[in-house]
């Protein structure tokens, strides 16, 4: 039972959570320390318990880290934007006035635009790196072509 008296069915202790997420226990604690994960529920003995939502968040962090190569600071910005949108979803009122709804939609749109900007910045940096590497490869290809042709000419007395 969690120290707040709530049910813990579906929750994982840190070792189980780390194994399921394919990260170390230290990584989970580090994500918590850096604000990427909210402080987990705790058992009476102080042991951390990770909810299914926590596990989804860890998977999202890993996706941003591994797929997009985001820094922890970028990941935090992306995760915080998701939190804002989730807060808007959970507080959404169908009976709200149209102007109130518009304010919330604009807020969700702004955080989404910020997420897009982070991804675009990363993609631009990656495109520039690829362009530089392609330029190097072309130099190597030119060098190999020139030197391979010269070498072949030295070996072939008929040229």
The tens digit of pLDDT for each residue in 56-115 reads: 999 999 999 998 889 999 999 999 999 999 999 888 888 888 999 999 999 999 999 999
Task: Name the strand (E) or helix (H) holding 132.
Answer: helix 98-155
pLDDT in tens, 18-33: 999 999 999 999 999 9
Statement to judge: residues 74 and 111 lie in one domain: yes
Task: State the Cα–Cα distance between residues 19 and 48, nearest whole angstrom.
Answer: 14
Q: Is residue 90 part of a domain?
A: yes
Q: Token digits for 3?
A: 């120290």
Please indicate, yes or no, whether the overall pTM of this predicted structure exceeds 0.85.
no
Count of domains forming the chain: 2
Statement to judge: residues 77 and 35 lie in one domain: no
Are 90 and 130 within 8 A, CB to CB? Answer: no
Are 49 and 42 within 8 A, CB to CB? Answer: yes
Are 28 and 20 within 8 A, CB to CB? Answer: no
């Amino acid at each position: 039972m969690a120290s707040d008296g709530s049910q813990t069915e579906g929750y994982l202790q840190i070792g189980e959570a780390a194994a399921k997420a394919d990260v170390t226990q230290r990584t989970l604690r580090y994500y918590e320390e850096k604000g990427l994960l909210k402080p987990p529920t705790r058992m009476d003995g102080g042991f951390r318990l990770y909810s299914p939502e926590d596990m989804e968040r860890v998977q999202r962090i890993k996706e941003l880290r591994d797929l997009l190569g985001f820094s922890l600071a970028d990941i935090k910005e992306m995760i915080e934007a998701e939190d804002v949108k989730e807060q808007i979803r959970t507080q959404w009122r169908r009976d709200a006035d149209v102007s109130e709804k518009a304010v919330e939609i604009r807020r969700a749109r702004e955080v989404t635009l910020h997420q897009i900007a982070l991804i675009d910045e990363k993609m631009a940096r990656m495109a520039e790196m690829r362009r530089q590497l392609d330029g190097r490869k072309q130099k190597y290809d030119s060098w190999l072509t020139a030197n391979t042709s010269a070498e072949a000419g030295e070996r072939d007395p008929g040229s």
